[in-house]
Amino acid sequence: MSAARLVLAVVAPVVAAALTVAALGTATVRNESMSPTLHGGDVVVFDRWSTPQRGDIVLFADREGWSGHEDAVLVKRVVGVAGDVVVCCEAGTGRLLVNGDPVDEAYAGGTRPGGDIPFRVEVPDETVWVMGDNRAESADSRLSVSHPGRGAVARADVRGTVRAWWGG
């Protein structure tokens, strides 16, 4: 085997492993705010490169203090992206409306899947608007609707988009 092939055989797997570690991460869920989708103790795998879309589950830095802990990283579902108008809630069904369309969220359950806190927000540029699937137990964007950022999470604070999970 030539020296170049030997170096390539050794270096290529190391580079591939380094890129995988840089692109992916794991975290452990600490509470029930994303139940029934995720539970305390579940492990999530997230990617660090994709742009969050409506419906994605993301990890982000808790700059608003929703968790009550400094430097916390939270996991929530993206309900709205920049430019979306998110409204709670559709009369009669209690579903969220995004850009005037009702959103079916079977994972949110309950008689008011949009939650009990009425709001209407336009998601600012370079942000996402997030809610936990367990609406009754989730501290999320709804808590900061009256703040200057209207509860939105800066995309720069998003640590990654969850791609897989398993019970802890």
> In what order do the strands lie in the sheet containing 24-28?
24-28, 43-47, 158-166, 57-61, 73-81, 127-131, 153-154
Task: For residue 86, give the nearest of 57, 126, 140, 129 by alpha carbon.
Answer: 129
Q: Provide the sign of the torsion angle of the four alpha carbons 134, 74, 146, 127, taken in this order.
A: negative
Distance of alpha carbon 40 from alpha carbon 55, whole angstroms: 20
**Active-site entry in 2, 33, 50, 141:** 33
Q: Is 144 part of the annotated catalytic residue set? A: no
Q: Counting beta carbons within 10 angstroms of the beta carbon of residue 92, is it exposed (0 to 12), middle (13 to 18) or buried (19 or more)? A: exposed
Where in the sequence numbering do the catalytic residues fall? 33
